[in-house]
């Protein structure tokens, strides 16, 4: 029987946190998620850049203009504080929250990787919940690309963390959760994203190699992304391969459902797992 170190690593995407009708944070979604979080859960959250953009727009009346990377830095720096404050407002007050801002270097360097793993693993023992996000405010895109290129010259496999789906997958490899949950704006992976009846309810196999082959097969059906800069459903499947091979049960589901609803099979999703 596979032994797991924590119960859950979860992730929610930027667009799933936004109420498009009011052009604002969807507080109902964050509240629902937060109330289900407890020690043993590790939560990867996107949204800082978009929330910072909306906050700036509401306060000033116009958006920033100029270099894209500078704007992303400014918006994400503004949004991080709001994002953490919002989670803190709704998470059970008995539990501590700890913010972890990570970059690719924390996964590609053995010492930094172990330091991060140890810090995360102390959280459940200390009654704390990690809230994890990529460190956009201090990450220069040009510098990141140069560092990744240098790493690739020395290593066969390099973690980029250009998407928080990848961040969640890497966190899951670090802490070996029973479940990895990716919440998005659709119900899961589809054969045809325009046809809700083509939702793929499960991808399963007897061993890791067979499961990887099946994931590769379903990646052929994936097309498009929810927003500019996102990598879409195919990337989600790519990033969950390794955790799934290690025995973690993966769910890709819609953020309109609660964590418990998805994990208990009471909501539609795509479930990816090894047969026991």
> What's the CATH number where 194 sits?
3.40.1160.10
Sheet holding 6-12, edge to edge: 96-102, 128-134, 41-45, 6-12, 177-184, 249-254, 269-274, 202-205
pTM attached to this predicted model: 0.89
Residue 144 pLDDT > 70: no
**Overall domain count for the chain:** 1
Task: Report phi then psi at 53, rounded to 5.
Answer: -60, -45
Does residue 59 sit within a domain?
A: yes
pLDDT tens per residue across span 18-37: 988 888 999 999 999 999 99
Does residue 1 sit within a domain?
A: no
Does residue 49 sit within a domain?
A: yes
Question: How far apart are alpha carbons 182 and 240 in whole angstroms?
Answer: 9
Does residue 217 sit within a domain?
A: yes
Q: Residue 215: which domain range?
A: 6-274
pLDDT tens per residue across span 176-230: 999 999 999 899 999 998 899 999 999 999 999 999 999 999 999 886 544 444 4
Residue 153 pLDDT > 80: no
Whether residue 31 contacts residue 90, with contact meaning beta carbons closer than 8 Å, is answered with yes
Does residue 44 sit within a domain?
A: yes
Does residue 265 sit within a domain?
A: yes
Question: How far apart are alpha carbons 251 and 55 in whole angstroms?
Answer: 31
* CB crowding 64-103: b at 16 or more within 10 Å, else e: beeeeeebbbbbbebbbebbbebbeebbeeebebbebbbb
């Amino acid at each position: 029987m596979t032994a797991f170190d924590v119960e859950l690593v979860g992730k929610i995407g930027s667009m799933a946190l936004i109420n498009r009708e009011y052009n604002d944070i969807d507080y109902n979604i964050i509240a629902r998620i937060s109330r289900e979080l407890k020690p043993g859960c590790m939560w990867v959250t996107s949204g800082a850049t978009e929330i910072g953009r909306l906050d700036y727009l509401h306060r000033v009346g116009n958006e920033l203009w100029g270099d894209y990377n500078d704007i992303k830095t400014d918006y994400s720096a503004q949004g991080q504080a709001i994002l953490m404050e919002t989670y803190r407002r709704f998470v059970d007050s008995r539990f501590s929250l700890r913010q972890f801002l990570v970059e690719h270097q924390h996964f590609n360097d053995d010492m930094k990787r172990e330091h991060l793993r140890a810090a995360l693993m102390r959280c459940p023992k200390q009654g704390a919940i990690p809230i994890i996000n990529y460190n956009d405010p201090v990450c220069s895109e040009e510098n990141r690309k140069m560092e990744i290129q240098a790493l690739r010259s020395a290593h066969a496999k390099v973690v980029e963390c250009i998407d928080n789906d990848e961040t969640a997958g890497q966190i899951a490899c670090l802490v070996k959760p029973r479940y990895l949950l990716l919440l998005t704006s659709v119900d899961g992976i589809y054969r045809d994203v325009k046809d809700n009846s083509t939702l793929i309810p499960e991808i399963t196999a007897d061993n890791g190699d067979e499961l990887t082959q099946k994931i590769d097969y379903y990646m052929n059906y994936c097309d498009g992304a929810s927003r500019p800069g996102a990598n879409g459903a195919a990337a989600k499947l790519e990033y969950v391969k390794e955790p799934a091979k290690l025995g973690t049960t993966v769910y890709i589901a819609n953020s309109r459902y609660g964590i418990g609803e998805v994990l208990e099979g009471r909501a539609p999703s795509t479930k990816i797992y090894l047969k026991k």
